[in-house]
Structure 1
Amino acid sequence: MPRKNTFAVIGLGRFGKAVCQELVNLDVDVLAIDVNEEVIKSVSHLVSHAMICDTTDEEALKNIGIQNIDHVIVAIGDNIQNSILTTLLLNELGVKEITVKAQNEYHEKVLKKIGADHIIHPEKEMGRRVAKRISSSNISEYFELSDEYSIIEVKATGKVVGRSLSDLDLRSRYGVNIVALNRSEVLIVPDPNESIMSTDELIVVGENKAIEKFQKNMLNQ
């Protein structure tokens, strides 16, 4: 049986705690790290391990074995200096994969130069998600996979109701895939010959432009 990847989350503000919770939901080993003892106590019941550590101190990082973690998420809040120094030390200690929460464009530029593998802007990404949801009454969920690809959960309307996936042939026509249906609050993988119902919600994956074209041509009433 292959070994599970290990994760560490540094900085346990609202975003860091949310990341810990999602990783725990995925049944992976999570090490939660913060300088605040009270914060550590508040998450100790949730994660595999929780430790107090000043992550701007190289020796402290070595002592907790951070170099043995597969993927470290730096979720430090408003202290850009600590975020940068922590990222630099993680890179120097040979951490395989480093994801960092950026506060602004300048912060992102510095992080790229010092070895961050992935950079995220939670506020910006949440803004996009909310904008997508409120711009269309049909969209109930929106998840951005990258700058080019997304997953949406959208109500079955227009020209898709009463037709099967094989009949619609959406992959060749629009470059999107319906990977599941939300039917009466139950996710199902649809049979290609099964008709889509008016009460269904479609889980659609594809390039953003392809999804927009599919919505415009197939879902408008």
Structure 2
Amino acid sequence: MDKTIAVIGLGVFGRQVCEVLAAKGAQVIAIDNNLALVNRVKDIVSQAVLLDSTDEESLSEASLDTVDTAIVAIGDNIEASILTTALLKQLGVHHVIARAVTKIHYQVLKKIGADEIVNIEEDQGRRVALNLIAPSVMEKVQLSRDILLSEFYLPLVYAKTTLKEIDFEGKFGIRLVAVRRSLNQMDSEGLNIRKEILLLPENDDELLEGDVLILLGEEKKLELFQKSGS
């Protein structure tokens, strides 16, 4: 992976994100104003930096111009979270993900230009990191040491392609378990209703744009399928 990602705020959530990103091969710049927290991640990230992210001069000297995404993981200091997010956007960071802990916090982050806002606890930190690595992956469930059950958005290159043409098992060594598909229907009053159905498609059935694939297989083989659609 070639992405460079800055994680600002190294509490439980931020540290979890750092660990997953680093394990997936990202270049991670970890930032906090607490030396103990910086030291806890310095051996697993590319760069661990002790600085106050609310200080414009200090943050501007952190060389964040090469960062693809910055994650503001600060949760216990709303003022620091907001100011850091604003400074990152001011410094020209392309994509800023900020963590919100209250509804008002969320609204303020949105107004100051955060590109993405999450309001999640420790067990959700892993999902945010995985989404940066593989945006098409919705969820992963570890069934055994080697086997995963994963939900993928159908890559556009496979839209209107049959299962037989894709050949999940023959080409990729994975199995399609089911397909989740959203349908728009009219109710008795003429209002549009979005309905989700679960399909068990046959070999000659076509997959459609917007379908969610539920796939079973080894992680490397699932990633191979994902890359084939990029």
Going from structure 1 to structure 2, the CA distance change for 1:181 and 1:10 (only over 3 Å counts) comes to same
Structure 2 residue corresponding to 1:113, chosen from 111, 114, 128: 111
The yes-or-no answer on 1:80 pairing with 2:78 is yes
Q: Give 2:70's aligned amino acid.
A: V
Aligned position for 1:201? none
Aligned position for 2:213? 177
Distance 1:26 1:83 in 2: 26
Q: Return the offset for 1:70.
A: 2.1
Distance 2:79 2:122 in 1: 21
Secondary structure of the corresponding residue to residue 47 of structure 1: coil
Going from structure 1 to structure 2, the CA distance change for 1:144 and 1:20 (only over 3 Å counts) comes to farther
Aligned position for 1:95? 93
Contact (CA 8 Å) 1:181, 1:188: kept in 2 or not? no
* Percent pairwise identity: 42
Q: Could you give the per-residue CA deviations for residues 66-93 of structure 1, whole angstroms, max 9, x where no partner exists?
A: 2332211000021100000101111111
Structure 2 unaligned blocks of 5 or more: 128-138, 140-147, 154-175, 179-198, 223-230
Aligned position for 2:29? 31
Distance 1:82 1:73 in 2: 13
Secondary structure of the corresponding residue to residue 115 of structure 1: coil
Distance 1:39 1:83 in 2: 17
Q: Could you give the per-residue CA deviations for residues 38-96 of structure 1, whole angstroms, max 9, x where no partner exists?
A: 11111100000001010000000012212332211000021100000101111111111
Secondary structure of the corresponding residue to residue 25 of structure 2: coil
Q: Which has the bigger relative contact order, CA under 8 A and spacing at least 6?
A: 2
Secondary structure of the corresponding residue to residue 121 of structure 2: helix
Distance 1:85 1:73 in 2: 13
Structure 1 unaligned blocks of 5 or more: 133-139, 146-153, 190-221
The yes-or-no answer on 1:166 pairing with 2:164 is no
Q: Give 1:166's aligned amino acid.
A: N
Going from structure 1 to structure 2, the CA distance change for 1:14 and 1:166 (only over 3 Å counts) comes to same
Contact (CA 8 Å) 1:171, 1:177: kept in 2 or not? no
Q: Report runs of 4+ in structure 1 exceeding 4 Å deviation.
A: 140-145, 185-189
Going from structure 1 to structure 2, the CA distance change for 1:79 and 1:176 (only over 3 Å counts) comes to closer
Distance 2:219 2:151 in 1: 19
Secondary structure of the corresponding residue to residue 122 of structure 1: coil
Aligned position for 2:50? 52
With normalisation by structure 1, the TM-score equals: 0.61
Aligned position for 2:189? none
Distance 1:68 1:91 in 2: 14
Contact (CA 8 Å) 2:11, 2:74: kept in 1 or not? yes
Secondary structure of the corresponding residue to residue 177 of structure 1: strand
Q: Could you give the per-residue CA deviations for residues 126-149 of structure 1, whole angstroms, max 9, x where no partner exists?
A: 5xx9xx9xxxxxxx968798xxxx
Contact (CA 8 Å) 1:170, 1:177: kept in 2 or not? no
Q: Could you give the per-residue CA deviations for residues 81-137 of structure 1, whole angstroms, max 9, x where no partner exists?
A: 0000101111111111100011121111101111100111113995xx9xx9xxxxx
Aligned position for 1:207? none
Q: How many residues align?
A: 160
